[in-house]
Structure 1
Amino acid sequence: MIWLTWRQFRFQATVTLTILAAATIYVMTTGLRMHHAYAADIAACPHPEIGCRFFLSFQGSYNAEQRLLEMLVFAAPALIGIFWGAPLIAAELERGSHRMLWNQSVTPTRWLAVKLAILALAALLTAAVLSLLLTWWASPLDQRSNDRFAAMTFGTRGVTPLGYAAFAFALGTVLGLLIRRTLPAMAVTLAVFIALQIVFAAVLRPNLLPSTAATMPINATTMSQVQGIGTGPDPSGPVQIFRPGKADAWILSATNLENSSGHEISGNQVSTCLNNQSLDLTGIGDCLAPYNLHIDYTYQPADNYWPLQWLETGFYLALAALLGGACFWRIRRHRD
């Protein structure tokens, strides 16, 4: 069975190994250069905790490479589900070769067990290698951006890609068994996988752990910790604070600028402070302090990053296990 699995899987394995080899060479070549540049420039920065002008140009110069690698890691589980999972059983049913395979000395359940074990392990290893490469490569950028909870960043670092890969593979296998046609199973696998990714990131992930509520008074100290303040295109509109609180926290929601009575204020009411070009954020905070303003916001603390990673990965692995169990249940009752 192992030999048969390899014979049937060798094309996908060759393509995967080629992509992994190319990705490793690219990541190591560009990553070593980037890490060296980062170490040299941060050593020349007198206050790295505050930041230097170098960091903005540094991040911008690697934006294209970062997006490319993130898309590769993000797409890998979907491709595994499409090209590994969906054809696994659907191709046999479509060709009719299952009539011969499942009437030999190897039972259908044993046939499925060997196939699932080998390919699921290969899927996990593929996702692990890609995630490890990107996590190492992007570490200087992630360290300065303090945006580990962003959807694309969170889903392409750490252990979450392993959960995605296992789930996508099991999903494709189940859909192939049910639909019995390879191409439709591939299309449905992609649609379901993308839909669940969107729903999980937008609805489930923010609620996996209880969030923390906080109130931030507006003064020079608190304004020095935010990324910006503005009213948008309409100066008479509400005033927004961008990324309040600790820089490495995940901000889930935030109110606009409010007075002590809890009512929103407009940009025109504090235009003297906002339109003063000579003031930085600290100066704007000092200017706004007499108005007794504040915002309310909710967030996930930075310490929740790894618990959220493990919880999400566990969720997808549990779904993969359930789908694998459904495959065994269905194949035992297969009559054809």
Structure 2
Amino acid sequence: MTYALPAPRRPRLRTTGPVWVVLRLHRVALWTWTAVVVASVLVLLWLYGPGADAALRHLAACTAPGCEPVGGAWGRYKDLYELTAAPIAAAPYAATILMGGICIGRELERGTAQLMWAQALSPARWLATTLAVPTAWFTAGMVPLVALHHLVWSSGPLPRRDLPWHDPDLFATTGTLPLTRVLLGLALGALAGVLYRRAATGGLAGIAVLLVTGVLGMRYRASLWPTATDTGLKALRPPSDAHVLEHGAVLRSTGERIGNNWACVDADSAADLRRCTEQFKDFWVTYHPASHYWPIQLLESAVVLALTGAVVAVAFRVLRKHAP
């Protein structure tokens, strides 16, 4: 009598391990982020194509002196673009709340993390996995979202109308800076979670993200790259796309330098300009031209990445100190 051997079973996809645990525990938040990204990308693709064409036709029809386009295709174009900027601007704070309040703080508060540690998963590996999964998920969504957002801005009518390159909101939602801010939010959330071990710590870390990015953007951004300076009458007409930092004049009578003086800049005629300039012997303007966009973006991103690395190192150190 012969017996047939059972057919070998095909290996099945393994759905165990710490990565799958993190995915299953936080799948609602991660899939919500995915839905937001997909919806925003679809809107941005429309803005890049039909939306931009309609907005340009609307602007071209506004030919009368002093004409300002309001509503219509241009208004819809601008409103939708600003709407797609919202998830990019909010992503660092959402990442902070997810990491600090849900992924780490809540799991430590409930004891879920300690249970995983008791099952041969070291605290360091648990924290690394808990950080890696949301980081990969957020990065995968931010890359196409920010790239399309930047493409729509740079190729459409927005820079010529209301959004110059140095606009603070635009600068924070284009280039490399948005992605590094998300990484900083994840790192600060992780640190707050291991420090306080409560679900409410995500909000505290969000305040830290706001303070750090606000100080960098408002206080130090303009000094990250050497400025350009024009003197003489050329200083009265800086490039239209420049980010002017200081405009000054030197009095002819006393030689006193007056900073932030915009005299003669708005002269209506050559005669008015000549009469105005008679009281000054020199002018100067300090500014960042549009070509400084990428150097400033990359330098500020590097600073944020360095802070992120330091915060992550502190989070692991704190966990090793307090973990059993």
Whether TM-score is above 0.5 comes out as yes
Q: Pick one of 94, 109, 112 that aligns with 2:127.
A: 112
Matched positions, count:
298
Q: 1:164 aligned to 2:152?
A: no
Any conservation in 2 of the 1:108–1:331 contact (CA below 8 Å)? yes
Q: Pick one of 256, 279, 292 that aligns with 1:304.
A: 292
Deviations 1:293-331 (A, max 9, x none): 654332223322111111111111121112222222222
Q: Judge which range, 318-327 or 135-144, deviates more.
A: 135-144
Q: 1:189 aligned to 2:216?
A: no
Specify every segment of 5 or more residues in structure 1 that has no aligned partner in the other structure, as ranges.
46-50, 226-244
Any conservation in 1 of the 2:135–2:183 contact (CA below 8 Å)? yes
Q: Pick one of 24, 49, 52 that aligns with 1:7.
A: 24
Distance 2:270 2:26 in 1: 60
Aligned letter for 1:156? Answer: T
Aligned letter for 2:41? Answer: T
Residues 132 and 85 (structure 1), Cα distance of their counterparts in 2 relative to 1, 3 Å cut = farther
Q: Judge which range, 95-104 or 55-64, deviates more.
A: 55-64
* Fraction of identical pairs, as percent: 24
Any conservation in 2 of the 1:41–1:54 contact (CA below 8 Å)? no
**What is residue 148 of structure 1 aligned with on the other side?**
165
Any conservation in 2 of the 1:86–1:189 contact (CA below 8 Å)? no
Specify every segment of 5 or more residues in structure 2 that has no aligned partner in the other structure, as ranges.
1-17
Distance 1:222 1:335 in 2: 61
Q: Judge which range, 54-63 or 29-38, deviates more.
A: 54-63
Q: Pick one of 48, 65, 77 that aligns with 2:92.
A: 77
**What is residue 5 of structure 2 aligned with on the other side?**
none
Deviations 1:91-142 (A, max 9, x none): 1111012221111122111122222222212222222232122112222234
Q: TM-score, normalised by structure 2?
A: 0.79
Aligned letter for 2:27? Answer: R
SS across alignment from 1:178: helix
**What is residue 254 of structure 1 aligned with on the other side?**
247
Any conservation in 2 of the 1:142–1:148 contact (CA below 8 Å)? no
Give the number of the structure whose alpha-carbon radius of gyration is greater: 2
Q: TM-score, normalised by structure 1?
A: 0.76
Q: Pick one of 25, 30, 42 that aligns with 1:25.
A: 42
Q: RMSD between aligned alpha carbons? A: 3.4
Q: 1:137 aligned to 2:152?
A: yes
**What is residue 48 of structure 1 aligned with on the other side?**
none
Displacement, 1:19? 0.7
Displacement, 1:15? 0.5
Displacement, 1:177? 0.8
Any conservation in 1 of the 2:242–2:287 contact (CA below 8 Å)? yes
Aligned letter for 2:285? Answer: Y
Residues 288 and 103 (structure 1), Cα distance of their counterparts in 2 relative to 1, 3 Å cut = same
Deviations 1:189-232 (A, max 9, x none): 12111111221111121121232333242xxx765x4xxxxxxx
Deviations 1:18-64 (A, max 9, x none): 1112112222223322322466689999xxxxx99799538962443
Aligned letter for 1:118? Answer: V
- Matching of residues 33-44 of structure 1 within 5 Å: 33-37=50-54
Displacement, 1:181? 0.8
Distance 1:69 1:53 in 2: 32
SS across alignment from 1:333: helix
Q: 1:200 aligned to 2:200?
A: no
